[in-house]
Structure formats: C-alpha cells, structure tokens
Amino acid sequence: MQLNLLNTTKRRTIMANLVKASRIAFASQYAYVLKAQNFHWNVEGQNFSDFHELFGSIYQDAEGSIDDFAENIRKLGAYAPAGFSMLGSLSTIDEISDIPDAMTMVGILAEDSIKMAELCAMVYEVAEAQREFGFANFLADRQDAFKKHAWMLNSILK
C-alpha cells in the first residue's frame, strides 16, 4: 500500500511539472510565432523576397501547431495560457523592441529556434516520464521542426 501511495504522489508531482513545463513551452512558441511574423512583415533589404518567404514559412509552421499544443495541455486537465500578460510572463523567448536588419533577424530567430528545440526536448522527457506518449510524439515533431528552422537559418549566416 505504501509503495502505491509513493507512486501516486510521484506521478502527481511529475504531472504538475508536465503542466507547468507545457504552459511555458506553449507561451514560448506563441512568442516565437509573433517574432517570426514580425520579421516576415518588417524585413527589408536586397533579399527581401527570400527573407519574407522564409520568415513566413517559419511562422506559419509554428502557428499551425498552436491549436494542437493548446489541446494537448487541455488533455492534461489544465488550461492553456492566454492573454499577452500571461503569455509574456511564461515565455522564454525574449521580445524585441526594434526592427533589426535582415541578417540580425536571421540570427535572432536561429537562436530562438534552438531554444525552442531544447525546450521541446525538456518537456518531451517529462511527458515520457508521465507516460503521455501522444503528447511526447507531438513534442518530438515540434523539436524536429524547430531544429530544421535553426539549420536553415544558421545556413544563411555562414
């Protein structure tokens, strides 16, 4: 009986950690979408068309999984964060206050893509420990997408 209670307490702790980490990752992905969309709208320069298209494809990919991300949080029995103040307080993606040049945008988004891939990997581990395999698969797919974005962006910087 005591072992069962210990396992139940441990699973509750892991679940609480999963919910917290998921909400942080969700808010961070939302901030990432907004930043990529900002870059898509505001990029200028000689290679405008290429950068405009690249940033557009990146934000559309990340935005396209926001609803699934929120639904995965709801399946955990928690609420998905909403509202700028709540999202901003949870996000690990830094907001920018100016419009940088195109290559700086590429560098910033490359760093944020790596950060998002690492965040997805961390939440994946907690989801696996909680035996939330469907959510873990979703996170693995998101990690892969962010790694691809990082690769593409870093290739431009070379």
Full set of structural domains in the chain with CATH: 2-157 (1.20.1260.10)
Q: Is 10 exposed, middle or buried (0-12, 13-18, 19+ CB in 10 A)?
A: exposed
Distance CA 109, CA 21 (A): 22
The tens-digit pLDDT sequence of the chain (158 residues) is 455 555 777 777 778 899 999 999 999 999 999 999 999 999 999 999 999 999 999 999 999 999 999 999 999 999 999 999 999 999 999 999 999 999 999 999 999 999 999 999 999 999 998 999 999 999 999 999 999 999 999 999 99
3-state secondary structure of 56: helix
Give residue 129's identity as a one-letter amino acid code.
A
Whole-structure pTM over 0.75, yes or no? yes
Contacts 24+ apart (CB under 8 A), 121-127: 122/21, 123/18, 123/21, 123/22, 123/25, 126/14, 126/17, 126/18, 126/21, 127/18, 127/22
Q: Are 69 and 26 in contact (CB under 8 A)?
A: yes
> Structure tokens of 97?
């206050």
